[in-house]
Structure 1
Amino acid sequence: MSNNAADTHTVKEVDTKQTEEDEEGKEVDDEEPRECGVCGDVAKGYHFNALTCEGCKGFFRRAIKRSVQLHCPFLNKCIITKNNRRSCQACRFRKCQAIGMRQEMVMSEKEVLERRSRINKKKMHNAKTQLSSQQEEIIQELLCSHRSTFDFAFSRFTGFRPIDRDILTNSEHSPAHPSTNCPTKTCSSAGKSSADPTESLHACSSSNSIFSDCDNHKGDGNNRVYTALPHMADLTTYMIQDIIRFSKSLRDFRSLSMEDQISLLKGATFEIMLIRFNMVFNSTTDKWECGHITYCIHDVVRAGFQLSLIEPIYKFHHTLRKLDLQEEEYAIIQAMSLFSPDRPGVQQHSVIDRVHENLALTLKTWIDCKRTDPNKHLLFPKVIACFTELRTMAEEYSKQILQIQDIHPNTITPLIMEVVSKNSSCDF
């Protein structure tokens, strides 16, 4: 076998130690001489602690693993060059040691196999966590639909009935211009938001707090807690209209029967609305910053909702904001909520379930690919846990809306009633 053939063979041998355990293990700078310290051939980098070519790297590795002792047929003074380096293995090995190549840096066969196994597993994992072209298309469609149907500045929210906050506060804001501030009376001391989102709610449960009105308005004719109801009904209707537009802009949704479209919308609208409101929730101030209008939890109370809904909503928004979701992730979880195959009245269960599974896998793959924080593996299960909370809150919301409708039948808009009604014959 020629020297060149032998060199080609050695290049193919994997020097696994160089990548993980070489003391230096680095490529040679382009401006440095690339000369092997053993034979003078072109050096590719530091191998086993010395600057060598690929041929001498492989030779040293094989020589270490041999049980036969090498002997020089001459006087142990052979000059090793690129052309004669195969002539005397003993002198070549001695030269390797002389330039600093270290025996303890060569991996055993077992270590080589283990490392190759790790490399293969990593390659397979990376291959699995790459977004497919189909998943990229899904994300782009959802992102485009979300951006075209969610107005962060709420600039299209016009012609609404004003919110009256004066009845529970001495605020000087005009009812004709919904306030960007909530009452100066806050639940936490010194005007600061509590570190624990539940603390301020518990503090508000005292008899002299406006939260005490939450459980006192059933059929008692007390209109004080309904001062914000007309405005909040208009805001909810505006949000529902955008959510319907979002849903109908998705190909998978349009492909379903009208009956299933209605069933999915009736089940998911309130959940998607909460997800969208979370995007404008400021967890520091405990306020929803909807363009030129800012809402606080007191406004939900003034709309007539009870603590059994208000407290979970408050906790939910703090929990979800802590996840620091990206816009793509918000778009995906809205679609996951929409395509829930277990909604009442759904007929095409398998079709919707397949869409939901694809969305869940897309979200998980996105997190694996795009997130860099060390705890990213916890994000997906935390998001999934939020869906359980959303489902519970949606049921309570429908219940309370129907109760409020009984007391103020002319305030809740027809579109809201279509969403919460059990009759699925309505047409959005």
Structure 2
Amino acid sequence: MNEVQERESSERQNSAENNEKEWVANVCQVCGDRATGHHFHAMTCEGCKGFFRRSMKQATVFRCPRQGVCVITKFNRRECQACRLRKCQSVGMLKDLIMSDEAVEKRRSQIRRKREVERPPCLSSLQESVIEELVNAHDKTFDATFSHFQFRPIDRDLNPMSVWKGTASCPRVALNAEMDEFLSSSSTPISTSHYSCPVERKDNVFTTLPHIADLTTYMIQNIINFAKGLHSFRALAIDDQISLLKGAMFEIMQIRFNMLFNAKTGNWECGSQTYCMDDAVRAGFQRHLLDPLMQYHYTLRNLQLQEVEYVLMQAISLFSPERPGVIHHDVIDRLQENLAIVLKVHIDSKRTKPGKHLLYPKILACLTEMRTMNEEYSKQVLHIVDIQPDNSFDPLILEVVSKDP
């Protein structure tokens, strides 16, 4: 036999010995079935492990019909419990190692929690359906190209105090009468006429007000339709619907405007037209609202949110139980909590970049920050109404910012 043949023969012999050792190590010492590990201090199968545990807990006295001489195999192990138990004890299985029912359940709970932590997060079918409904309602009511919006030119005469620059045109839109059902508490009927531009002033205050008002009205219309597209919103009492819409309108508008915000230019790109913060200045809004609002848009845009995350932000803002006038707080609180969970799971399951665990709290922080600007926005709108000579605000806008429930 040459050297190559001797080496091959030796390898085959070693392989056979290793296989035999592995087979012996995986054999139940009680019945000869395939073992699953060491149980109660002996290598056994699952069947013998369970049999030994039950026998020790029941404290039953078994009797062998054959004077205790049965040979236990995996085929006949159920025929003689006495000999099977005797074999369990002879191979070293110990009663003291059996855990109590409470300890077993505690261990199982720990294992389940560990698996849940290790298991990659995944949206449930119900959560997927929630997202689908929200996205569908958003797509039908968010006119990103402003194709259904009629613009009219803005006569811009920038004053030296301007700090942001851009170009834009002003929209012209008629209100939809069906929105009245959501704002039925208003004593003033919703106007369906077009706006007329106010008298130009030397300091350029209010020159863009009708254009900003038109744009705001158009956004309000779409946001109301967005809410109407949600089954959970339609199921609420009408008074709660009105309170939620009034409370969240400014916040949802800013979320939608942020989807149009260009962080490189500082402008809002509304289809073919572009607006800048200076347009809001010349509409009569003041810096102590606009400065933090501008910073907010940069902060939110830099999060680079996906459309689904923007839409979930809108829904979380809409279903806020602490809004003034809300009656059924518990119902709305559960809706908001479920939406927040969907957002968290979506981020955990869909995002892959490092630091994704910080995105969820950052989004919640942005929602909280908008709350601080919401009341100031209403105050400034009402202040403009008081001091400017021409009424450029439609009753729909005034109803949204009014404090009456």
What TM-score does the superposition give when structure 1 sets the normalisation length? 0.60
Q: Secondary structure at the match of 1:224?
A: coil
The partner residue of 1:308 within 278, 283, 288 is: 288
Q: Distance in 2 between matches of 1:262 and 1:323?
A: 31
Is contact 2:243–2:323 with CA below 8 Å preserved after alignment? Answer: yes
Matched residue type, 1:356? Q
Is contact 1:161–1:234 with CA below 8 Å preserved after alignment? Answer: no
Partner of 1:154: 146
Q: Does 1:138 align with 2:130?
A: yes
The alpha-carbon distance between structure 1 residues 222 and 369, as it changes in their structure 2 partners (threshold 3 A), is same
Partner of 1:190: none
Q: Does 1:178 align with 2:169?
A: yes
Within 5 Å, which residues of 2 pair with 1:374-393?
374-393=354-373
Q: Does 1:326 align with 2:300?
A: no
Is contact 1:163–1:228 with CA below 8 Å preserved after alignment? Answer: yes
Partner of 1:356: 336
Computing the radius of gyration from Cα coordinates, the structure with the larger value is 2
Within 5 Å, which residues of 2 pair with 1:127-276?
127=119, 129-158=121-150, 160=151, 162-166=153-157, 168=159, 178=169, 224-276=204-256
Partner of 1:74: none
Q: Secondary structure at the match of 2:268?
A: strand
The alpha-carbon distance between structure 1 residues 355 and 40, as it changes in their structure 2 partners (threshold 3 A), is same
Q: Does 1:417 align with 2:405?
A: no
Computed over aligned residues only, the root mean square deviation of the Cα atoms, in angstroms, reads: 3.3
Q: Secondary structure at the match of 1:288?
A: strand
Q: Cα deviation per residue 1:325-355 (whole Å; 9 max; x = unaligned)?
A: 1000001010000000000000010000000
The alpha-carbon distance between structure 1 residues 372 and 53, as it changes in their structure 2 partners (threshold 3 A), is farther
- 1:156 CA displacement: 1.1
The alpha-carbon distance between structure 1 residues 122 and 38, as it changes in their structure 2 partners (threshold 3 A), is farther
Q: Distance in 1 between matches of 2:168 and 2:371?
A: 34
Q: Cα deviation per residue 1:175-194 (whole Å; 9 max; x = unaligned)?
A: x9829xxxxxxxxxxxxxxx
The partner residue of 2:387 within 390, 407, 410 is: 407
Q: Distance in 2 between matches of 1:222 and 1:395?
A: 30
Matched residue type, 2:121? T
Q: Cα deviation per residue 1:93-124 (whole Å; 9 max; x = unaligned)?
A: xxxxxxxxxxxxxxxxxxxxxxx999865531
How many residue pairs align between the two structures? 282
Partner of 2:351: 371
Q: Cα deviation per residue 1:390-416 (whole Å; 9 max; x = unaligned)?
A: 111111100000000112351111111
Q: Secondary structure at the match of 1:225?
A: coil
Q: Cα deviation per residue 1:19-62 (whole Å; 9 max; x = unaligned)?
A: xxxxxxxxxxxxxxxx999426999xxxxxxxx99759979xx9
Q: Distance in 2 between matches of 1:119 and 1:125?
A: 10
Partner of 1:96: none
Q: Secondary structure at the match of 1:39?
A: helix
Matched residue type, 2:123? L
Q: Distance in 2 between matches of 1:378 and 1:136?
A: 22
Q: Secondary structure at the match of 1:289?
A: strand
Matched residue type, 1:296? C
The alpha-carbon distance between structure 1 residues 292 and 124, as it changes in their structure 2 partners (threshold 3 A), is same
Q: Distance in 1 between matches of 2:245 and 2:360?
A: 24
- 1:312 CA displacement: 1.0
Is contact 2:258–2:297 with CA below 8 Å preserved after alignment? Answer: yes
The alpha-carbon distance between structure 1 residues 54 and 419, as it changes in their structure 2 partners (threshold 3 A), is farther
Partner of 2:69: none
Q: Distance in 1 between matches of 2:26 and 2:379?
A: 75
Matched residue type, 2:240? D
Q: Distance in 2 between matches of 1:352 and 1:312?
A: 29
The alpha-carbon distance between structure 1 residues 162 and 42, as it changes in their structure 2 partners (threshold 3 A), is farther
The alpha-carbon distance between structure 1 residues 359 and 177, as it changes in their structure 2 partners (threshold 3 A), is closer
- 1:261 CA displacement: 0.4
What TM-score does the superposition give when structure 2 sets the normalisation length? 0.63
Q: Distance in 2 between matches of 1:284 and 1:120?
A: 48
